[in-house]
Chains A and B, each alone.
Chain A
Amino acid sequence: MSRLAGPLVALAIASGVALLAPVPLAGQAPPSAKTGTPSRTPDGQPDLQGIWTNATLTPLERPAELAGREFYTEQELAEIEKRAQEKPRSPESAGTVAHYDFAQYGLDPNQAKRASNRRTSLIVDPPDGKIPPLTPEGRKRAAERAEARKRSGPFDGPETRPLGERCIWMAGEGPPMLPEAYNANIQIQQGPGYVAILQEEIHDVRIIPLDGRPHVGRKIRLWMGDPRGRWEGNTLVVDTTNFTDRTNFRGSSENLHVIERFTRTAEDTILYEFTVEDPATWARSWKAELPMVKTQGPIFEYACHEGNYGMANILRGARAQEQAAEEAAKAKK
C-alpha cells in the first residue's frame, strides 16, 4: 500500500500543476507547431516519450571531399537518399568477406526508418566537422591500449573479446548515443523525477534522476557513466560522468564528460545534441547533433546473453585452429 501511495500522490499533485500549464494536459497531445511548445507528461515534464530511431546516413565526421561544406542542398540530399535506396548493402559493397544478404536478413540500414539530415557531418563543432586531434596523452593511451590488446591474445577467453560480443555494451549506446548498424531504436519513458532511456541494442536502460542530486563519488565507475538530468526550458539536459575506461568513447579516458540535450522540435522529432569533453584526450571539447524520429514499436527484447551461442563458437573455433596448427607443425617434424 505504502509503495503505491507515494507515486499516486505525486501523480495527483503533478496533474494539478499540469492543469495550470497552457498546454493540453493529455500526454499524447501533439505539440503546437506554431509555438513549438511540446505537450506535457502528467507530472508536467515536456513530453519526450515514445519510440524513436536515430538511424542516419550522415557520418559522424565530415568526409574530406566535403571540406568547407556544412550542408548538402536539398537536391543533393535527395540524390544521396535515392542512391542509398537503389544500392542495398551487400557483402561485396561493404568490402567485407562473405556475409549475410543484408536485405534478406533485415540488416540493411535502408530498411530502417530514418530522419533526413542535410548536414554533411554529425559533428557541428569544431566547424570542420572533425573530431579534434588527440592530445599527446591521448595518443599515448591509444598506443598503450593497442599494445595491451596484442599481449592479451584476443581469442584467449571471453574476457578478451569485445564488449559487444560479450553482450555487455555496444559502442553506439554511449553515451553519447550514436546509431547502431541495425536495431537503432530508442524508447524514452518519463515518470515523476526520472527519465528512462532504453536502447534496443543491447538492452540497457539508463535511469536518469532529475532531482539535482550530485554525481556519485569519484571512485564509483559505471559502464555507461552516472547520469544526472535537468530541464532547461523544454530541453532535457543529461550530464554524465564517472565512466570506466573500458567503454572509452573514441579513445577517451574515464574522465570523459558527456552533456546530452534532448529537445522535441516536432511531434515526430527530437533534436539530440551532445558535447563531449576530456582534456586528457582532446585539446578541446566537441559537439554533434542528429535528429531522432518516431518509429513504430514495440521494442523487442534483446536478451543477448541467453542466446549468445556466438561466443562459444568463436572460442571453440580458435581452439580448433590452434590444434590444427599444432598438428601441422608436428607433421613437418
Chain B
Amino acid sequence: MRARLGVVAAIAGLLLAGAPAWAHHAFAAEFDANKPLKLHGVVTKWELINPHSWINLDVKSADGKVTGWMVEGGSPNALFRLGFTKDSLPPGTEIIVEGFQSKDGTNRAVGANLTFTDGRKLFLGSSAPGSNPDRPSLTPPKDPGKN
C-alpha cells in the first residue's frame, strides 16, 4: 500500500514537474498575465516560423475601426507533427483568439486558445492525447469567415 501511494505521488510529480512547457522563452518574460484579452478577427497572414508561429489578424471594433494584431502560437515543428500544413489557416479565416497581451502594451499577444466562429477549435480536433505524426493532414475549414 505504501509503495502504491509512492507510485501515485511519483506520477503526480511527473505531471507537475515535467519540463518547462514553453521551452524557448518564459511566458512571463514576454506577456502579461494581467492583460487577458479576446480578439475576434480575420487572419491576414500566418507566419510559420521558429521558434514560434505568429498569426496576423485584423480586428474590427464596434465603430468600424480596423486594428492589426499579432498572436504568438506553437512552434511550426510541433504543428506540422500534428498534421498541419501551410494551408491550414488561410488568410480570410475568421477566428476568435483568447490570450494575453504583450508586456509592452503593443498589439501583440499570446494565444491561449483559438476557435472558429462556429465553435470548432482550430487544432484540438486532431490532437487527441497519444496521437502521433501518422495522422492525416488537417484541411482548412470549409467556410472561412467572409468579412
* Contact digits for B112-140, partner A, Cβ 8 Å, 1 yes 0 no: 11100000011110010111111000000
Tell me whether A182 and B23 are in contact in the complex, defined as CB-CB below 8 angstroms, given that A65-B9, A106-B75 are known contacts: yes
Could you tell me the distance in whole angstroms from the C-beta of B71 to the nearest C-beta in chain A?
11
Stretch touching chain B among A3-11, A36-44, A164-172, A278-286:
A164-172
**Nearest chain A residue, comparing its CB with the CB of B75:** A183
Tell me whether A120 and B23 are in contact in the complex, defined as CB-CB below 8 angstroms, given that A84-B15, A88-B129 are known contacts: no
B25 interface residue per 8 A CB criterion: yes
Question: B32 — which chain A residues lie within 8 A by C-beta?
Answer: 317
B133 & A313 in contact (Cβ 8 Å cutoff):
no
Question: B133 — which chain A residues lie within 8 A by C-beta?
Answer: 113, 295-296
B17 interface residue per 8 A CB criterion: yes
Could you tell me the distance in whole angstroms from the C-beta of B16 to the nearest C-beta in chain A?
6
**Nearest chain B residue, comparing its CB with the CB of A178:** B19
Interface residues of B in 61-82 (CB under 8 A from A): 70, 72-82
Question: A99 — which chain B residues lie within 8 A by C-beta?
Answer: 21-22, 27, 112
B130 & A85 in contact (Cβ 8 Å cutoff):
yes
Question: A57 — which chain B residues lie within 8 A by C-beta?
Answer: 14
| Chain B interface, DSSP helix/strand/loop, else mixed | mixed
**Nearest chain A residue, comparing its CB with the CB of B7:** A76
**Nearest chain B residue, comparing its CB with the CB of A317:** B103
Question: B28 — which chain A residues lie within 8 A by C-beta?
Answer: 97
**Complex formed: what's the CA distance from A95 to B17 in Å?**
9
Tell me whether A316 and B124 are in contact in the complex, defined as CB-CB below 8 angstroms, given that A165-B25, A310-B25 are known contacts: no
B20 & A181 in contact (Cβ 8 Å cutoff):
yes
A231 interface residue per 8 A CB criterion: no
**Nearest chain A residue, comparing its CB with the CB of B134:** A296
* Contact digits for A72-110, partner B, Cβ 8 Å, 1 yes 0 no: 100010011001111111010111111111111111111
**Complex formed: what's the CA distance from A91 to B113 in Å?**
12
Tell me whether A98 and B36 are in contact in the complex, defined as CB-CB below 8 angstroms, given that A63-B9, A106-B79 are known contacts: yes
* Contact digits for B1-25, partner A, Cβ 8 Å, 1 yes 0 no: 0010111011101111111111111
Question: A304 — which chain B residues lie within 8 A by C-beta?
Answer: 24, 50-51
B127 & A179 in contact (Cβ 8 Å cutoff):
no
Question: A181 — which chain B residues lie within 8 A by C-beta?
Answer: 18-23
* Contact digits for A103-136, partner B, Cβ 8 Å, 1 yes 0 no: 1111111111100000010000000000000000
Residue in contact with B30 in the complex, picked from A102, A202, A314, CB distance below 8 Å: A314
A165 & B24 in contact (Cβ 8 Å cutoff):
yes
A320 interface residue per 8 A CB criterion: yes
Could you tell me the distance in whole angstroms from the C-beta of A12 to the nearest C-beta in chain B?
37
Could you tell me the distance in whole angstroms from the C-beta of A10 to the nearest C-beta in chain B?
34
* Contact digits for A122-161, partner B, Cβ 8 Å, 1 yes 0 no: 0000000000000000000000000000000001000001
Question: A105 — which chain B residues lie within 8 A by C-beta?
Answer: 73-74, 78-79, 111, 123
A16 interface residue per 8 A CB criterion: no
B17 & A59 in contact (Cβ 8 Å cutoff):
yes
Tell me whether A108 and B22 are in contact in the complex, defined as CB-CB below 8 angstroms, given that A300-B76, A307-B47 are known contacts: no
Tell me whether A179 and B19 are in contact in the complex, defined as CB-CB below 8 angstroms, given that A104-B113, A110-B129 are known contacts: yes
A314 & B29 in contact (Cβ 8 Å cutoff):
yes
Could you tell me the distance in whole angstroms from the C-beta of A238 to the nearest C-beta in chain B?
24
Question: A98 — which chain B residues lie within 8 A by C-beta?
Answer: 27, 31, 33, 36, 100, 112
A85 & B104 in contact (Cβ 8 Å cutoff):
no
**Complex formed: what's the CA distance from A69 to B23 in Å?**
30
Could you tell me the distance in whole angstroms from the C-beta of A312 to the nearest C-beta in chain B?
9
Could you tell me the distance in whole angstroms from the C-beta of A158 to the nearest C-beta in chain B?
12
A93 & B16 in contact (Cβ 8 Å cutoff):
yes
Question: B79 — which chain A residues lie within 8 A by C-beta?
Answer: 105-106
Question: A316 — which chain B residues lie within 8 A by C-beta?
Answer: 102-104, 106
B46 interface residue per 8 A CB criterion: no
- Extra 4 A-B pairs, beta carbons < 8 Å, given A103-B124, A108-B127, A172-B19: A99-B112, A106-B81, A111-B127, A316-B102
Chain A to chain B contacts (Cβ below 8 Å), 22 pairs = A63-B10, A66-B6, A80-B11, A84-B14, A97-B28, A98-B27, A100-B110, A101-B124, A102-B21, A103-B127, A104-B122, A105-B78, A106-B81, A120-B10, A165-B25, A181-B22, A300-B80, A307-B49, A307-B50, A309-B52, A310-B72, A314-B30
Closest 8 CB pairs of A and B: A317-B103, A105-B74, A307-B49, A106-B78, A181-B19, A65-B6, A320-B104, A316-B104
